[in-house]
A and B are shown apart, each in its own frame.
Chain A
Amino acid sequence: MNQTAAGITTATTIELRGLEKSFGPIRAVRGVDLTISPGEVVALLGPNGAGKSTTLDMLLGLAEPDRGTVAIAGRPPDEAIRSGAVGAMLQTGGLLRDLTVRELLTMLASLYPVPVDVDELMELTGVADFARQRTEKLSGGQTQRVRFAMALVSDPDLLVLDEPTVAMDVKTRQAFWTSMRTIGRSARTVVFATHYLEEADLYADRIVLLAQGRVVADGPTTEVKAMVGTRTIEATLPGADPERLARVPGVAACQVRGEVVTLTCTDSDTALRTLLAAHPAMHDVVVRGAGLEEAFLELTADHHAPEEEA
């Protein structure tokens, strides 16, 4: 058990140590170390195949790590799950058929030592309107809401969501995150996987960027966003002072190679206005949008030893 600064014993510290997992020749996770503190909302951000789902599967005990350990509040995942401390919304999976929504949630609730009140849960998650519907007759959006309710049925301290919005349209996605904000959040640790930077940005306190089975960036959302959600300004500027350029509003980082400066910007518009006004000698200005994929590639290139197979 971890002790917080206040000395309160916390229930949901997550420790992932040296996790590795291969499926045949594919090395899905190549050494992930993560410590997540109680109450943190963490986004596992990465492109498809980055190892997000495999990492979450190991966190939940659904996959056995080849190497490394998982501890939820100092316990192995299955023990934490048995106590009702963990709720999960898995990426794939239909609902059990031949039951109404209410019956399904009641059935699941009965498995837990201290379940929530099912009627209350249905109100909160917005499934009360179709509580008497059979699960096989729900729309896609309704199904997702029921799956979200299922994850909350034990009133878990840790909520794990594996790409919860992957099958949703834009409107449903927004509605999901709104309800997530109001109910999912309260005093819980939340870990969710996504490949949308906007989702991570909007909802998480902390982003863990995964690429090719490794953590390539880990930090507060604003920091990681600055690394990946950027535009690049390239220009020619004789006698550039990198330190001064890096302090320009909207600029996150600065590189100078000869007369060519490359500025990584969180706000390229603001930066550009300042730069052009302050440096009349600046010319051949190019602004490029660095997509998430591109940012991933760049970040991975630094971390990725060339001798390893893809």
Chain B
Amino acid sequence: MIPVTYARYELVRAVRNGRFFIFSLVFPLVLFLLVAGPNKHEELAGVPFPVYYMTGMVAWGTMGAILTTGGRIAVERSLGWHRQLRVTPLTAREYLVGKVAIGYAMALGSIALLYAAGIGMGVRLPAGRWIEMTAMILIGLVPFAVLGVYLGHVLNAESIAPALGGITALFALLGGAWSPVATDGFLLHLTQLLPSYWLVRAGQIAFDGGAWPAKAWIVIGVWTFVGARLAARAWRRDTQRA
């Protein structure tokens, strides 16, 4: 059980140190306003443009937000803080759960901001849709949370920021957060192997109501499993080093 005071200060720190998540909050919002604004009354494949674009930006923004977990871990490792924590009662599990929780808090911030912007742009959905979409996005973020923990243990404080930026952009692009990469054929099957594809699809529940097929659960499950194994190995290697 993580003490409340400890968790509170972790959150305070994350908010004070904006450099890791400010981009994941600001860029998707700005892009949404710039692109969806002029096309407010347009439709894309029968879907009002603002809602379509909002879901894409939510996928990009939350993915970026949750990957910042890696940045926090890498910086604390470079300070030797993980060693200091190991001479306190906080367990490694609690530490990592805390870090992932902070990542989710940042992702929820990104969601709230973009939903608000969407509503301002005229997006209207039944309450059930908002909830279902949000829940599926949070599940779709699990492999990215694990990936963040992994990267935080293998990259250092200097290299992690550009690495996270690049990885987020690549996943967003190939997953179709900005615009669909492919609608059929081989390329579609390829992009469907990415967790970001299904994260984008989770958002699209907003307008097509479609649940994830079995394939989505498998892809998300495999990425999470492999990521968790890699993260556990990286963590072990990191703690055994003198």
Contact = CB atoms under 8 A, between A and B. Distances in A.
Interface of A: 23, 28, 53-54, 57, 60-64, 81-84, 86-88, 90, 92-99, 103-104, 106-113, 150, 154
A92 B80 CA distance: 7
Contacts of A111: 3, 6, 88-90
Contacts of A106: 5, 9
B89 A96 contact: no
B132 interface: no
Contacts of B240: 63-64
A98 B242 contact: no
B12 interface: yes
Contacts of B242: 23, 28, 53-54, 57, 63
Given A60-B86, A62-B86, 16 more contacts: A53-B242, A62-B87, A81-B87, A90-B83, A90-B84, A92-B80, A93-B79, A96-B13, A97-B79, A98-B17, A103-B12, A109-B5, A110-B4, A111-B3, A111-B89, A154-B88
B89 A62 contact: no
Interface in B42-87: 75-76, 79-81, 83-84, 86-87
B16 interface: yes
Interface in B1-33: 3-6, 9-10, 12-13, 16-17
- 3 nearest interchain CB pairs? A93-B80, A110-B5, A94-B79
Interface of B: 3-6, 9-10, 12-13, 16-17, 75-76, 79-81, 83-84, 86-90, 240, 242
Contacts of A54: 242
A97 B17 contact: yes
25 contacts: A23-B242, A60-B87, A62-B86, A84-B89, A86-B87, A90-B80, A90-B83, A92-B80, A93-B79, A93-B83, A94-B81, A96-B13, A96-B81, A97-B79, A99-B12, A103-B12, A104-B9, A106-B5, A106-B9, A107-B6, A107-B10, A110-B3, A110-B4, A111-B88, A112-B89
B18 to A, nearest CB: 10
Contacts of B81: 93-96
Contacts of B90: 111
B79 A112 contact: no
Given A90-B83, A111-B3, A99 B88 contact: no
A295 B219 CA distance: 65
Contacts of A154: 88
B6 to A, nearest CB: 5
Contact of B86 (A61, A94, A104, A112): A61
A297 to B, nearest CB: 25
A62 B84 CA distance: 10
Contacts of B13: 96-99
Nearest to B4: A110
A64 B239 CA distance: 10
A98 B9 CA distance: 9
Given A82-B89, A111-B89, A150 B84 contact: yes
A61 to B, nearest CB: 7
B79 A96 contact: yes
Contacts of B89: 81-84, 111-113
B9 A103 contact: yes
A88 B89 CA distance: 12
A98 B76 contact: no
A252 B175 CA distance: 79
Contact of A95 (B17, B79, B88): B79
Nearest to A77: B87
Contacts of B4: 110
B177 to A, nearest CB: 30
Most buried by B among A82, A90, A111: A111
Most buried by A among B3, B9, B10, B240: B9
Contact of A62 (B3, B75, B79, B83): B83
Nearest to B87: A88
Contacts of A87: 87
Most buried by B among A61, A64, A99, A113: A99
A62 to B, nearest CB: 6
